[in-house]
Structure 1
Amino acid sequence: MPKAQETVLEIDLKALKHNFQYLKSKLQPSTKFLAVVKAFGYGSDACKIAKYLETLHVDYFAVAYINEGIALRKAGIKTPILVLHPQAVNFKALIENCLEPSLYNAKILKEFITATSIENQKNYPVHIKFNTGLNRLGFWHNDINFINKTLSLTKTITVKSIFSHLAASEDLNEKPFTTNQIKDFKTIAKNFEKTVGYKPMLHICNTSGILNYPEAHLDMVRSGIGLYGFGNSEIENKNLKPIASLKTIISQIHLIEKGESVGYNRAYKSDGLQKTATLPIGHADGIGRQYGNGKGYVIIKGQKAPIVGNVCMDMIMVNITDIDCKEGDEVILFDANTTAEDLAETANTISYEVITAVSQRIKRTFIE
């Protein structure tokens, strides 16, 4: 693999394939697989990721917002796309691009029916979300009669799936709560089918649901973070491969004498003769200010170099006093060995935040 010559996010499509096949191996052959590619494919490249996953015959994609789905369609993606949090102002564009909305309350349901009526649609596929404990979005179990009555007054939409979202599937200490969510959803599904008169697809499992609750795989599962190489546990992390490596280079090396400061607000002051390296990456690239002043580190020549001083918009400085390196040498912020999860732990956050924060101005390269 060539050494970085600038700040770059390397995306390993072979690792993506490995993760997909590993997660798929947990399922029954009849269970469909939905790949979540929201937030630029968890900070990578949603269009490139989706195109590759189409070659692996993924059954569905999911995005958070309508503009994300439109970008996939413009890139040539033909696979069905579920929009998890659509906004009514964009419903016309959603319909024009054959995207499928999640409808989660009375207001959004009625507004989408109005939109499909205006656009002369018939049996447009929608997905009804139920709240079973996450308390974020979703109808309640006692809304089924209202949904049925509303559906009975229109021919413009049809329910392709009903689904819910597990709140703590990665935490086995919360197994009773998760088991109860699954039980509630199965009851909702049974009542929905009985009331509405037909059976839509059912799905509730996220990545940790796939790994920890095989009894809840149902008709389809949804995986986001797992595809990108993280299993929300030490055991499962070993079975998955992080697909992204964030690399940069050393722009300049400074010799700092005792008492000299580094960076804005003189936040770091040397307690002796030290060497620092300045790197061309900063908080505008996703390395937040919480990583400054020793909380975060980078890898140079296989050694940890702590971040010193405040993170700047376009640069960070690191302590390289004990590292034999030179200007132009490669620097790793995270990769398959020192992962985004490792970096996240230094600032008491999670891998999701680290990888999705990587700025779109950073060059992406792909390994196939």
Structure 2
Amino acid sequence: MSKVGETTLVLDLAALEHNYNYLRSKITPETKFLGVVKAFAYGSDMVAIAKKLEQLGADYLAVAYVSEGVLLRKTGVQLPILVLHPLASNFDDLIGYHLEPSIYSRNILNQFIEAAKEGEQNNYPVHIKFNTGLNRLGFSKDDVELIAEETKRSGCIKIVSAFSHLAASEDKNEQTFSLKQIESFKNLSSALMDRLGHAPMRHMLNTSGIINYPEAQFEMVRSGIGLYGYGNQVEIDAALKPVASLKTVISQIHQIEANESVGYNRAFKSNHPIKSATLPIGHADGIGRQYGKGKGFVTINNKKAPILGNVCMDMIMVDVTNIDCKEGDEAIVFGNEKSAEKFASGAGTISYEILTAISQRVKRVVTGI
């Protein structure tokens, strides 16, 4: 990749294609594939990612909120879009832009039926979310009869899928719990299909589920983090390619003498002479304060440069004492050589958090088109 002259998130669509093909290889040819592009496509570029997935042959997309789906529609994305957490206040937009809601409670079911009636809809596609143990959103087994009855009575909606979410698909120590969830979902979806008189698609597997529980792929799988290059397991990470690389540049270099401090609250104090570099990236760009005081580091000319003191809003200072570098040189926060997972682990968090935290003010550059 070419050098950057400012803080830039470089997005490699060739890496996305590699990851998509790898995950596709783990499922049967007839199993549908849903790409999760919520949260600006895990902090990258939702429109660019969605359009690439559409080109690659994905069957569905998923977003968290209606506004995300509206943006995709306005930019020309045609694939069916599942909205995972719709709110009643956005139902008019949801219907107007042909988005498909996850129906996860009695209240949301009743409110969406009313919205569909008002909009004179017929067989509007909806997805029924079952709670099998994550205890976040979803219907219980006691709701199956009501779901079927209300759906038939309304005449304005059609259940096109039933789904659930594994709580710990990446954790081999929780295999018993995951298998229990899968069995519970089988029973719930079967009971629903019996009462509906037709067979909606079923989907339960996330990225780690695709790898660890392929026998439960049903008619569709969903992948989010795996598409962006992370598999929650060392061996899977090795088979995937990070899509996003966060890079910045050295703005200024300082010689710090013994007993001098660096940054706010004098959080770093030097007991011997060092050299520091200031970089134009901070917590307003997604590099939280938890990465300060040496818990996070960047790479400059293939060498590790730990963060000195507190992370500022727009800047970090790093230790370049033993690095041959100059103002204008590139600094890599994460990318192919040092993954977002490795960067995040220094602060005791995960790749999802650092990826989705990258501010929209950071320039995006798309490559591998």
SS at match of 1:323: coil
Tell me the equivalent position of 1:285: 285
Cα distance in 2 for partners of 1:225, 1:141 equals 29
Partner of 2:144: 144
Equivalent runs, 1:69-80 vs 2, <5 Å: 69-80=69-80
C-alpha displacement at 1:140, in angstroms?
A: 0.2
CA-to-aligned-CA distance 1:35-60 (integer Å, 9 cap, x gap)? 00000000000000011111111000
Deviations 1:298-344 (A, max 9, x none): 00010100000110000000010010100000000000110000011
Match of 2:106? 106
Q: Matches of 1:152 and 1:37 in 2, distance apart?
A: 32
Give the secondary-structure state (helix, strand or coil) at the position aligned to 2:218.
coil
Separation in 1 of the partners of 2:2 and 2:29? 39
1:156 aligns with 2:148: no
Q: Deviations over 1:139-188 (max 9, x none)?
A: 00121011112112211100000000000000011000001100110111
Structure 1 residue matching 2:226: 3-state secondary structure: coil
Q: Deviations over 1:115-154 (max 9, x none)?
A: 0011110000000000000000000012101111211221
- Residue type of the partner of 1:10? V
What residue is the counterpart of 2:40 in the other structure? 40
- The reply to whether residue 178 of structure 1 matches residue 178 of structure 2 is yes
2:3 and 2:45 map into 1 onto residues whose CA distance is: 21
Q: Which residue of 1 aligns with 2:60?
A: 60
Partner of 1:348: 348
1:237 maps to a residue whose letter is D
Give the Cα–Cα distance (whole angstroms) in 1 for the partners of residues 214 and 291 of structure 2. 38
Stretches of structure 2 that go unaligned for 5 or more consecutive residues are none
Aligned-residue sequence identity (percent) comes to 60
Matched residue, 1:88: 88
Q: Equivalent residue for 1:133?
A: 133
Q: Which residue of 1 aligns with 2:265?
A: 265
**Normalising to structure 1: TM-score of the pair?**
0.99
| Length, aligned pairs only | 368
Match of 2:200 in 1: 200
Residue 118 in 1 paired to residue 136 in 2?
no
Mapped partners of 1:294, 1:163: distance in 2: 42
**Distance in 2 separating the partners of 1:134 and 1:237:** 24
The reply on whether 1:23 has 2:10 as its aligned counterpart is no
Q: For the residues of structure 2 that align with 1:148 and 1:37, how far apart are their CA atoms?
A: 30
Q: Which runs of 4+ in 1 moved over 4 A?
A: none
Aligned residue number for residue 248 of structure 1: 248
Hey, what's the Cα distance between the residues in 2 that align with 1:193 and 1:55?
A: 32
RMSD, aligned CA:
0.6
Partner of 1:213 in structure 2? 213
1:43 corresponds to which letter in structure 2?
G
Query: Counterpart in 2 of 1:2?
Result: 2
2:338 alignment counterpart: 338
> How far is 1:189 from its partner?
1.3
**Residue number in structure 1 paired with 2:304:** 304
